[in-house]
A and B are shown apart, each in its own frame.
Chain A
């Protein structure tokens, strides 16, 4: 029902998408797979009318379309969940869900009806959200749920999902998959982008693989193995995803005692992390593990409890004092807390290490040394394209995540706090990040990883703390680590 041929899109002369053909049938889930920067989001943005295509033919239901705006795309019945979201921070959840599609009678909005419809929509999806809160105050996971609900506000004919599960936990993702199955049965065509192989395998009928803006091929999912897909995607056979980490737990570096935040997102949590080990924080999104990391880094107001570094209590932590104490934090929400999107990749990478002797003497920046200094960390992370002068906003979602990570690698820290370090990055880059964690730990650093990806924890961590409703409910040692074990503590009870 939807067919594009010869699609090409250039950004300042560089082809982000090069002569790509793609088609979608009714009731089909068609997955897009590719490394970070392969052009998946670009293809989707063209189909949804975000920006115009340079060359190519766009046909939908036999009609040829010459130009498209997001507004027109929605009239045709194309709805999209964007990777970088399309939510307005100063409007509430309900207002965002109906933005651009308000229901009114005459001049006036039908506010009650819209609210009611939003409640029904969210209920049918099983998402629970504060309806009248401004979106600016929501967590990334909650924003993701709003973005999904928004795409489903009118019954779409084509639904585009660009990494919709990147910040959802398994429970929430499951609800989304149910909704997808339902829509599929109703004949809706779905374009699905994800870096998670299991999702692609379970949901999709066909897969199109992109690499470097070109189409590598379209295959029927059932007829190809995961290894085959990954090989198409990266152009070489796969190596092992998770490296084997030698944990040599040394002295306790970071200790948190009975910590309670003012907002009660964390209640009486305690944990320790030693030099030379990876400590995992597990739990549902919203269970307080992100806030725990943020509190340690001075981003949440602590009400009671102590944070100790090398057995010394830290009074009133602030990001500046924690960085000075060699603690480094990588936020989950790279857009709002991490990157200065309008500045270059280079400036973003060196932002928190400009006081290094390599980079400055006194107030004077040694800007001529900057490029030299960032080369290795960026190469280790395989930034694509390797263009340090490009604005952060012009990188693909996954490459923005790598820029965030690069920032913490500029100088040696002793304690690393990672919040969802591999959100939205491709399989190859994930392996790079895991190897990076391995080299940090084996060099004696103390690493704390908060993540919703269980395989990550089980393969990387030497110990895992499980959180539930702000409290630490379990501590699991390496030999107790299995998906079932960790999951059994997710809801607070014991299985």
Chain B
């Protein structure tokens, strides 16, 4: 009997001969390499990249891409898509500014209260959008792609209707100074907020049953349900968290821009999906890690900054973004395939 079990152990265990390079490539080595190459190349071509002010700028942009990319990652690992992130950012930016404008009339001199109120209301809007998205996806088993596409259209319509495309000013000065432009220990406040969100996502994915359930639902919904996972609730939480993060982005964006704008976030759906996919999130769900998505978001922010520094026309920037997306995915796939065969 003992010899039998021994032989079966050998037969069962697949050969674990992955080299160190393999493991490096599998666990985000490719993204890290992209990032290092992008940083070094930009610094060489354009020394202004390393200016303190420019670096602070990159960090702010990074944080404002990171948070919605994590939102995208949550939904994608649960087997869906969220095309409405950009629209939620725009809508909540408008909501934040509008609440501040109206609120400061009612409560003059109580800026902090007004700012917090606008945050709470913006987050409420984000959560509500997530709730509706998830509700439609889960109850009617509609395609997440179509549901969030429609949601995007509706939200943009509402935001444009209310603002007529004109920015809403009257945002509290202390809000702009302390949040959008504020610093703590020499780094932008928004970066700290982004890193806090990242840390929360990492912990959630690795150490909580919610994280486990999101992976399971994205990987195989039927099996997850049969295993006793409440798939509807898991989807709901994933989409609502995504809505909350998008709303947080809208709130921070308002503080950064100094006004509420219904026209921002137009390319955010593309950018966040790009960051997620370059960071290794599977389009089929079930796979993806927050820390790698963060690296990919940083990579994209560096490239965007480089293009601004060398004054690439903004019209061409989306073209470059698309090319970067395709090229990096192709390289990633090629390397992995070479390693596997």
Contacts and interface: CB of A to CB of B under 8 A. Distances in A.
Do chains A and B stick together as partners?
yes
Chain A CB within 10 A, most for which of B11, B208, B215:
B11
Given A88-B219, A88-B220, A301-B341, A129 B226 contact: no
Given A99-B224, A129-B12, A104 B215 contact: no
A111 B207 contact: yes
A71 B229 contact: yes
Given A109-B207, A137-B14, A171-B8, A95 B212 contact: yes
Contacts of A111: 207
Interface in B208-254: 208-209, 212-213, 215-216, 218-220, 222-230
Interface string A402-429: 0000000000000000000000000000
Nearest to A169: B8
Contact of B227 (A70, A109, A126, A128): A70
Nearest to A72: B228
A70 to B, nearest CB: 5
Contacts of B19: none
B21 interface: no
B9 interface: yes
Nearest to B13: A130
A88 B5 contact: no
Chain A CB within 10 A, most for which of B213, B218, B228:
B228
A74 interface: yes
Interface stretch (A15-23, A79-87, A197-205): A79-87
B87 to A, nearest CB: 30
Contacts of A95: 212
Interface in A49-97: 50, 69-71, 73-74, 80, 82, 85-91, 95-96
A233 interface: no
A130 B14 contact: yes
Nearest to A287: B11
A227 interface: no
A100 interface: yes
A88 B13 contact: no
B15 A88 contact: no
Contacts of B213: 99-100
A128 B7 CA distance: 10
B156 to A, nearest CB: 34
B4 interface: yes
A416 B315 CA distance: 59
Contact of A100 (B8, B227, B286, B341): B227
Contact of B12 (A71, A86, A128, A150): A128
Is chain B's interface secondary structure helix, strand, loop, or mixed overall? helix
A289 B230 CA distance: 40
A89 B220 contact: yes
B82 to A, nearest CB: 20
B3 interface: yes
B15 A263 contact: yes
A264 interface: yes
Given A95-B212, A491-B3, A469 B11 contact: yes
A100 B228 contact: yes
B287 interface: yes
Contacts of B10: 469
Nearest to A108: B207
Given A109-B208, A111-B207, A171-B4, A88 B11 contact: no
A86 B7 contact: no
Chain A CB within 10 A, most for which of B11, B208, B222, B226:
B226
B208 A88 contact: no
A48 B222 CA distance: 14
Interface of B: 3-5, 7-15, 207-209, 212-213, 215-216, 218-220, 222-230, 282, 286-287, 341
24 contacts: A71-B228, A80-B226, A88-B219, A89-B220, A90-B219, A90-B282, A91-B215, A91-B216, A99-B213, A99-B228, A100-B228, A101-B227, A102-B209, A104-B209, A107-B207, A109-B209, A111-B207, A128-B5, A130-B12, A263-B15, A285-B11, A286-B8, A469-B10, A491-B3
| 9 interchain residue pairs of minimum CB distance | A100-B228, A286-B11, A86-B226, A90-B286, A90-B219, A100-B227, A102-B209, A128-B9, A99-B227
Given A80-B226, A88-B227, A126-B5, 19 more contacts: A70-B225, A86-B223, A87-B220, A90-B220, A90-B286, A91-B212, A100-B216, A100-B228, A100-B229, A101-B227, A128-B13, A130-B14, A137-B14, A150-B227, A263-B14, A286-B11, A469-B10, A469-B11, A492-B7
